[in-house]
Structure 1
Amino acid sequence: MAVRTVGIALNGVTGRMGYRQHLVRSILAIRDQGGLRLDDGTVLMPEPLLVGRNPAKLKEIAQRHDLARWTTDLDAALADPTIEVYFDTQVTSARVAALRRAIAAGKHVYTEKPISETPEEAVELARLASAAGVRNGVVADKLYLPGILKLKRLLDGGFFGRVLSVRGEFGYWVFEGDWQPAQRPSWNYRTADGGGIVVDMFCHWSYLLEELFGRVSAVTARATTHIPTRWDENGEAYQATADDAAYAIFELPDGVIAQVNSSWCVRVHRDELVEFQVDGTEGSAVAGLRECVVQHRSMTPKPVWNPDLPATEDFRAQWQRVPDNAEFDNGFKVQWAEFLRHVVAEDPARAPFRHDFMAGARGVQLARLGLLSSAQGRRLDVPELAR
């Protein structure tokens, strides 16, 4: 059995997402399962090189997982001929420069979202990657959630008939940091550091809506900072300059309207932290992180509005749970496997990777237009991006 090693420079693994989801639950998990078996029987084995700014943290992570290679020198990592893939999960403000260097070094590039701070930078990265002939991708983890995969199964099977609308609710209460520590780093609430829920979440809503229903053609949004003062990791008060909630209407093909609320200032009264309700002429579904429930047209009750009497119906009990019918692996790991297969394929069309840099650019574009819509108080069309 032939083994094909792929060297991967992972930049930003000392951060929570880079360490937990990308290193431990993806790259190391693929190694632990014996690698990825390709169609020709070859086993693809990822070999990580940890990259970051803090040598003490890098060394500790490497020792914890028995990894031999780490460095604080990005240029040295990119000059290493054993490295084929560069992955970036740094703060957004540092991402574009590092991706440019990786592309110039001829490395295939994979990155967390948002790919950049502006759509112009994102399109430039896509152009550079295309000109250099390197394969490129952006993380789109929400598409691999079990609940969303079940929703996609329903859409592909024609369950809804004609889709009418989508309603999404995402968020939870992030503590201010004064009397309980915040669950998110303080940079998320400072515009200068790349924070804000629009920049964070509209990139997700872009690829998710596009994959399920089609590309967003127009957006109307209201972004706001509900909590202006928070406390950082050292217990110091600071002014929150970035938006912590956004309320948006996205227009989709065939007249489908999506309303999506995103908030770090909402207390959860849902079954899951994110839920999408899709209504169609033949049926409806509510999908979360893991579960999905449906109500078909033939089984839809006839509620009657009567505010003078208490409700007697258990509305939640009138829905049916969609069975798993499959094994659901970690979404980050599944997408890593797809990208690595794409990287080593002689013909990339035979192992396609849909979420390339242009898809990432559309996410950044939607976030910027969402902020502009909020600032101007009007509906904005989402034009086609030209490479």
Structure 2
Amino acid sequence: MRTPEIAVTGLGMITPGGVGAAETWEEVRAGRPTARRLPELRGLPVDFGCPVDGVDLDAAVGGRKTWRMHRFVKLAVIAAREAVADAGLDPAGWDGGRVGVVIGVGVGGVSVLTDNALRLSAEGPGAVSPLLVPMMIPNAAAGEVAIALSAHGPSLAPATACASGATAIAVARDLLASGQCDVVVAGGAESVLQPLVVSGFAQMGAVSRRCDDPAGASRPFAGDRDGFVIAEGAGMLVLERAADAAARGGRARALLAGVGSTTDAHHPTAPDPRGRCAQAAVEEALRDAGWSPYDVGHVNAHGTSTPLNDAMEADVIARVFPHWPPVTSAKGVLGHSLAAAGAIEAALTVLTLEEGVIPPIANLDAPAVEFDLNCVTKQARRESVERAVSHSFGFGGHNVVLAFQRGA
């Protein structure tokens, strides 16, 4: 059976770049880094990150139930509502049984877990909150978004580490193609800017230690990169079958033309340095879309600013795309929001296709000399792009590639 065309009809984001897709796009397009020192990390070997600032999350979510939501859940609800409104859909009028929610989350409410562990140790079991479990579990975001949107179809929470947001979009495509859903809200959310998680990443050598220059710390594909900068945020896409969207008068902001997914089966945290399965994921997405490599006019890279990932990804891009398409990574501006990153970057890829603008990689003057890449640096590049791919890779060897085509 031929896979139906899948349209992206709505975008929603809340990131260190701003509240809403428009604010985030403006910051990323301008190449303005958002990393700064954080009081909650004071005294740690790594004391900086990219937080979501300038918004009262409780007020933005509204209602009387925010007390039961962890921060990552609030971010998810805000982004999901924006995406649905952007799609021109109204939950009050849709058939909720045909609406699915798929939200990738890597860690969940770890701050609630650590706070209650301290209470248990200091005061005993009676001090543990009855909200510990519902606030901590990673699927809380999918559950609360479903409640907020009256979505009664499948509600899923894939966890593929830093590829989770992209995996969610891939799963959404399958739900639509199989006929299980008519609308799917899909994306990722994460909020773990807290001492335990940051210390864990620091101990394993994954995060940058440029404490004297937080804004300059995330520098994807640079020769002197030394690790990622941890961030928080949420990104959501509304996906529909293109024919259904057109029938209701909705616009296809882009088409999700292909998906590729593989697993390295190499190491719990390090990518296969040869990038064989990452490359296979790119090639699978191209086959699924019916494209040749030369059809791709832009690569939105995972681009974490880590020595191992950037080297692997640069080699894969050079091998698969010898025509040197322009490459960007938003993590120089937004940092690495872990499970949310793939969804945020998918949304940014859609905006590049719509607006013909490829944002620059912040903090990068030129890629490392060993990388044969056409990186967009210093300022945004105006370039009409018809087709683009967005890469996401995660601990556990997860590789997910999404292929997007400009909407009609």
Q: More strand by proportion, 1 or 2?
A: 1
Same topology, TM > 0.5: no
Which gives a bigger RCO, structure 1 or 2 (Cα 8 Å, sep 6+)? 2
Query: What is the TM-score normalised by the length of structure 1?
Result: 0.28
Query: What is the TM-score normalised by the length of structure 2?
Result: 0.27
